A and B are shown apart, each in its own frame.
Chain A
Amino acid sequence: MLAALLAAGGTVGLGWWFVALVGAGAGASSQPSGRPGLEAAAGSALGWAVLLGWSAFQGPIGLVARRVGPIFHLSGTAFVALTLGYGALLAASAAVFVAAARR
Chain B
Amino acid sequence: MRAARLVLAATSLLALLFVGFRDLGPLPPLGQLVDPYRGVWAQARAADLPRHRTAELAGLEDTVLVIYDDRAVPHIFARSELDAYRALGYVVARDRLFQLEIQTRATAGTLTEWLGPRLLETDRAQRSLGLAWSAEREWAALDSTTLVARAVRAYAEGVNAWIAGLRRRDLPLEYHLLGKQPMRWKPQYSLYLMKRMGYTLAFNTFERVRERLLPLIGDSATSALFPIHSPIQEPAEPGPGPYPRFDWRRLPPPAPLRLSQDGRGAESPRLPRSPDGETGPWPLASLARSEPPRPRMLRAAPHEAQVTRSAQAPWMSWWQRVPAGSVAPGLSYPEADDAEAAGSPDRGSNNWAVSPRRTARGAALLAGDPHLELTLPSIWYEVHLVVHPRLPQAGAGARPATGTGPAVPRTGTAVGAWASDDRNQVRPAGAAPAGDSLDVYGVAIPGLPGVVIGFNRNVAWSFTNTENDVLDLYAEVLDNPAQPERYLLDGTWQPLTRRLERYLGRHGEVLAAGTIYHTHRGPLALTGDRATSLRWLVLEAGGAEGLLQAQHAANVDQWLEAMQAFKTPAQNGVVADRAGNIAIRSLGAFPLRPGDGRGDRIRDGTASASDWIGFWPAARQPYARNPAQGFLVSANQEPKDPRVDPGYLRANWPAPWRAMRINQLLRADSAVTVDAMRRYQTDPGSARADALVPVLLRLGRQALERGDRADSLAIRRALDLLGQWDRRYTKENTRAAFFEFVMRELQDRLWDELSAPAAAGRTVARAARVATPSEAVLLEVLQDSTSPWWDDRRTEGLREDRLEVVARSLAAAFARALEELGDPADTSAWRWSRVRQVNIYHLLRAPSLSVLGLPIRGGPSTINPSSGDGTSGASWRMVVELGPEVRGFGIYPGGQSGNPVSPWYADRIPRWVEGQLDTLRFPRSPRELDGARQRGRLLLLPGRSR
Q: How far is the CA of A90 from the CA of B36 in the complex (A)?
A: 14
Q: Nearest chain-A residue to B15 (Cβ)?
A: A93
0 or 1 for each of B7-42: is its CB under 8 Å from A? (1 = yes): 011101100110011000000001110111111111
Interface assignment of A100: CB less than 8 Å from any CB of chain B? yes
Which listed residue, B10, B21, B847, touches A70 by the CB 8 Å rule?
B847
Do the beta carbons of B16 and A59 come within 8 Å of each other?
A: no
Q: Name the interface residues of A5-46: CB closer than 8 Å to any CB of B.
A: 11-12, 15-17, 20
Do the beta carbons of B177 and A71 come within 8 Å of each other?
A: yes
Q: Nearest chain-B residue to A89 (Cβ)?
A: B16
Which listed residue, B9, B47, B173, B848, touches A100 by the CB 8 Å rule?
B9
Do the beta carbons of A16 and B2 come within 8 Å of each other?
A: no
Q: How far is the CA of A56 from the CA of B38 in the complex (A)?
A: 14
Q: How far is the CA of A28 from the CA of B37 in the complex (A)?
A: 26
Interface assignment of B562: CB less than 8 Å from any CB of chain A? no
Do the beta carbons of B38 and A15 come within 8 Å of each other?
A: yes
Interface assignment of B846: CB less than 8 Å from any CB of chain A? yes
Do the beta carbons of B44 and A59 come within 8 Å of each other?
A: yes
Do the beta carbons of A16 and B32 come within 8 Å of each other?
A: yes
Interface assignment of A77: CB less than 8 Å from any CB of chain B? no
Do the beta carbons of B5 and A100 come within 8 Å of each other?
A: yes
Known: A69-B848, A100-B5. A93 touches B44 (CB 8 A): no
Do the beta carbons of A72 and B315 come within 8 Å of each other?
A: yes
Q: Name the interface residues of B830-859: CB closer than 8 Å to any CB of A.
A: 846-849
Interface assignment of B45: CB less than 8 Å from any CB of chain A? yes
Interface assignment of B134: CB less than 8 Å from any CB of chain A? no
Do the beta carbons of A68 and B13 come within 8 Å of each other?
A: no
Q: Which residues of A contact B45 (CB under 8 A)?
A: 55, 58-59
Known: A56-B44, A93-B9. A71 touches B34 (CB 8 A): no
Instruction: Tell me the count of chain B residues lying within 8 A, CB to CB, of chain A.
Output: 44
Q: Nearest chain-A residue to B849 (Cβ)?
A: A67
Q: Nearest chain-A residue to B4 (Cβ)?
A: A100
Most buried by B among A71, A90, A101: A71
At the interface, is chain A mostly helix, strand, loop or mixed?
Answer: helix
Q: How far is the CA of A56 from the CA of B41 in the complex (A)?
A: 9
Q: Which residues of B contact A101 (CB under 8 A)?
A: 6
Which listed residue, B9, B32, B47, B317, touches A73 by the CB 8 Å rule?
B317
0 or 1 for each of A84-103: is its CB under 8 Å from B? (1 = yes): 00110110011011001101
Which listed residue, B21, B37, B46, B310, touches A11 by the CB 8 Å rule?
B37
Do the beta carbons of A66 and B848 come within 8 Å of each other?
A: yes
Do the beta carbons of B34 and A16 come within 8 Å of each other?
A: yes
Do the beta carbons of A90 and B35 come within 8 Å of each other?
A: no
Known: A12-B37, A15-B35, A72-B316. A90 touches B44 (CB 8 A): no
Interface assignment of A2: CB less than 8 Å from any CB of chain B? no
Known: A51-B37, A64-B901, A97-B9. A16 touches B315 (CB 8 A): no
Which listed residue, A51, A71, A82, touches B318 by the CB 8 Å rule?
A71
Q: Which residues of B contact A64 (CB under 8 A)?
A: 40-41, 43-44, 901
Q: Which residues of A contact B177 (CB under 8 A)?
A: 68, 71
Q: Which residues of B contact A90 (CB under 8 A)?
A: 13, 16-17, 20, 31
Do the beta carbons of B315 and A73 come within 8 Å of each other?
A: yes
Which listed residue, A12, A16, A58, A103, touches B39 by the CB 8 Å rule?
A16
0 or 1 for each of A54-65: is its CB under 8 Å from B? (1 = yes): 011011110110
Q: Which residues of A contact B40 (CB under 8 A)?
A: 64, 68
| Nearest Cβ on chain B to A14's Cβ, whole angstroms | 10
Q: Nearest chain-B residue to A49 (Cβ)?
A: B36
| Nearest Cβ on chain B to A29's Cβ, whole angstroms | 16
Q: Which residues of B contact A68 (CB under 8 A)?
A: 40, 173, 177, 848
Which listed residue, B41, B42, B43, B47, touches A83 by the CB 8 Å rule?
B41
Q: How far is the CA of A103 from the CA of B9 in the complex (A)?
A: 14
Interface assignment of B900: CB less than 8 Å from any CB of chain A? yes
Interface assignment of B48: CB less than 8 Å from any CB of chain A? yes
Do the beta carbons of B847 and A52 come within 8 Å of each other?
A: no
Q: How far is the CA of A68 from the CA of B43 in the complex (A)?
A: 10
Do the beta carbons of B16 and A52 come within 8 Å of each other?
A: no
| Nearest Cβ on chain B to A37's Cβ, whole angstroms | 8
0 or 1 for each of B418-429: is its CB under 8 Å from A? (1 = yes): 000000000000
Q: How far is the CA of A101 from the CA of B42 in the complex (A)?
A: 36
| Nearest Cβ on chain A to B289's Cβ, whole angstroms | 27
Q: Which residues of B contact A51 (CB under 8 A)?
A: 36-37, 41
| Nearest Cβ on chain A to B23's Cβ, whole angstroms | 13
Q: Which residues of A contact B16 (CB under 8 A)?
A: 20, 86, 89-90, 93
Interface assignment of B435: CB less than 8 Å from any CB of chain A? no
Q: Nearest chain-A residue to B12 (Cβ)?
A: A93
0 or 1 for each of B304-339: is its CB under 8 Å from A? (1 = yes): 000000100011111000000000000000000000
Q: How far is the CA of A12 from the CA of B265 in the complex (A)?
A: 69
Do the beta carbons of B846 and A71 come within 8 Å of each other?
A: yes
Do the beta carbons of B5 and A16 come within 8 Å of each other?
A: no
Q: Which residues of A contact B173 (CB under 8 A)?
A: 67-68
Do the beta carbons of A71 and B848 come within 8 Å of each other?
A: yes
Q: Which residues of A contact B848 (CB under 8 A)?
A: 66-71
Do the beta carbons of A96 and B34 come within 8 Å of each other?
A: no
Q: How far is the CA of A93 from the CA of B16 in the complex (A)?
A: 9
Q: Which residues of A contact B316 (CB under 8 A)?
A: 71-72
Q: How far is the CA of A103 from the CA of B900 in the complex (A)?
A: 49
| Nearest Cβ on chain A to B209's Cβ, whole angstroms | 38
Do the beta carbons of A20 and B17 come within 8 Å of each other?
A: yes
Q: How far is the CA of A96 from the CA of B4 in the complex (A)?
A: 11
Q: How far is the CA of A22 from the CA of B901 in the complex (A)?
A: 31
Known: A64-B43, A93-B16, A100-B5. A73 touches B48 (CB 8 A): no
Q: How far is the CA of A94 from the CA of B316 in the complex (A)?
A: 28
Do the beta carbons of B9 and A96 come within 8 Å of each other?
A: yes
Do the beta carbons of B30 and A86 come within 8 Å of each other?
A: yes
| Nearest Cβ on chain A to B100's Cβ, whole angstroms | 21
0 or 1 for each of B348-373: is its CB under 8 Å from A? (1 = yes): 00000000000000000000000000
Q: Which residues of A contact B34 (CB under 8 A)?
A: 16, 82-83, 86-87
Q: How far is the CA of A70 from the CA of B318 in the complex (A)?
A: 10
Q: Nearest chain-B residue to A51 (Cβ)?
A: B36
Q: Which residues of A contact B21 (CB under 8 A)?
A: 17
Q: How far is the CA of A56 from the CA of B37 in the complex (A)?
A: 11
Q: How far is the CA of A56 from the CA of B565 in the complex (A)?
A: 51
Q: Nearest chain-A residue to B8 (Cβ)?
A: A96
Do the beta carbons of A16 and B42 come within 8 Å of each other?
A: no
Do the beta carbons of A96 and B5 come within 8 Å of each other?
A: yes
Q: Which residues of A contact B48 (CB under 8 A)?
A: 59
Most buried by A among B5, B316, B849: B5
Return 29 A-B CB contacts under 8 Å, by A number: A11-B35, A11-B37, A15-B35, A16-B20, A16-B34, A16-B37, A17-B31, A20-B13, A55-B41, A60-B901, A67-B173, A67-B849, A68-B40, A68-B848, A69-B848, A70-B847, A89-B12, A90-B17, A90-B20, A93-B9, A93-B16, A94-B13, A96-B8, A96-B9, A96-B12, A97-B10, A100-B2, A100-B5, A100-B9
With contacts A60-B47, A64-B901, A97-B9 known, what are 16 further pairs, Cβ within 8 A?
A: A15-B31, A15-B38, A16-B38, A48-B36, A51-B37, A55-B41, A61-B41, A63-B901, A66-B848, A67-B849, A86-B16, A90-B17, A90-B20, A93-B9, A97-B10, A97-B13
Chain A interface (Cβ within 8 Å of chain B)?
11-12, 15-17, 20, 48, 51-52, 55-56, 58-61, 63-64, 66-73, 82-83, 86-87, 89-90, 93-94, 96-97, 100-101, 103
- Nearest first, the 4 closest Cβ-Cβ pairs linking A and B are A59-B44, A97-B9, A70-B848, A16-B35
